[in-house]
Amino acid sequence: KAGVTQTPRYLIKTRGQQVTLSCSPISGHRSVSWYQQTPGQGLQFLFEYFSETQRNKGNFPGRFSGRQFSNSRSEMNVSTLELGDSALYLCASSLVPGANTGELFFGEGSRLTVL
Amino acid sequence: AQSVSQHNHHVILSEAASLELGCNYSYGGTVNLFWYVQYPGQHLQLLLKYFSGDPLVKGIKGFEAEFIKSKFSFNLRKPSVQWSDTAEYFCAVTGLSGGYQKVTFGTGTKLQVIP
């Protein structure tokens, strides 16, 4: 079956702009998590959604937001972009919230560059 | 708050050498432990996981990890590495946070295997 799909794969923005990233989970998976990956920082947890509800949120400013739709697809938005937001944004899906089953299935990520 | 430490940021080994990557976590309750791997140009995927039972768990491609509760450690091992093991390895732990299970990743260890 198809894996986790993230779009766009690459994008370049300038400071102050906003960006929306999309994630389509594996068919049947209802939980979607978002992570920010940067060199030296590893994966920083952004938020997790299950059945359209945000279940958990990491320590990121309010400029980072997300949502999940009834078909389990998820979007995350970053407003007023800063240079430090340049990173690989990873989406992971699981049947139920990932921690309970143990396995997260990751997409290839959306690489955001902020100039 | 839970945290994960991976002390080796970059490891270089020759083929056939033995591998041990350190992972220590900080959390006061029951945890589930994981190792994920990210091969160059590919998405993160699960290598192995520990929930309960035998503290020595075996994963794919000859990897194994040992959970030592008294040391809060979950080190990854492989007796003889291959060039194809070149990748970045992430340790992860789950524990309760805000009433929900939350996955926390370490900063990753880049393994380079020289032929």
pLDDT, tens only, A85-98: 999 999 999 886 65
Query: Do residues A5 and A108 touch, judged by C-beta distance below 8 A?
Result: no
Chain B residues touching residue A97 (CB < 8 angstroms): 100-101
**pLDDT, tens only, B42-57:** 999 999 999 888 999 9
Q: Which residues of B touch A3 (CB under 8 A)?
A: 43
- Tell me what pLDDT residue B71 has: 93
Among A26, A43, A100, A105, pick the best mutation site for testing chain B contact (most B Cβ within 10 A). Answer: A43
State the pLDDT confidence band at A100, using cuts at 50, 70 and 90. Answer: low
Nearest to B110 by CA among A43, A39, A37: A39
What are the strands, taking DSSP E only, across chain A?
5-7, 10-13, 19-24, 31-38, 42-50, 53-57, 64-68, 74-78, 87-94, 105-106, 110-114
- Determine the pLDDT at residue A1: 59
Least Cα distance to B107 among B2, B5, B1 occurs for: B5
CB contact under 8 A, B108 and A33: no
Tens of pLDDT, residue by residue over B6-28, are 988 999 999 999 999 999 998 87
Please say if the pLDDT value at position B96 is more than 90: no
Pick B90's closest partner by Cβ from A42, A56, A102: A42
pLDDT tens figures, A9-46 = 999 999 999 999 999 999 999 999 999 999 878 899 99
The DSSP-derived string for B38-107 is: E-TTS--EEEEEE-SS-SEEE-GGG-EEEEEGGGTEEEEEESS--GGG-EEEEEEEEEEETTEEEEEE--
Residues of chain A with Cβ-Cβ distance to B104 below 8 Å are: 45
Say which amino acid occupies A56: N
Is the predicted pLDDT of residue A107 greater than 70, yes or no? yes
φ and ψ of A105, to 5 deg: -110, 120
Mutate to test the interface with A, among B102, B104, B110 (most CBs of A within 10 A): B102
Q: Does A26 touch chain B (CB under 8 A)?
A: no
Span B67-87, average pLDDT: 96
pLDDT at A94: 86
For residue B26, give both structure tokens: 């900080």
What pLDDT is recorded for position A14? Answer: 97
Q: Region A89-112: what's the mean pLDDT?
A: 83
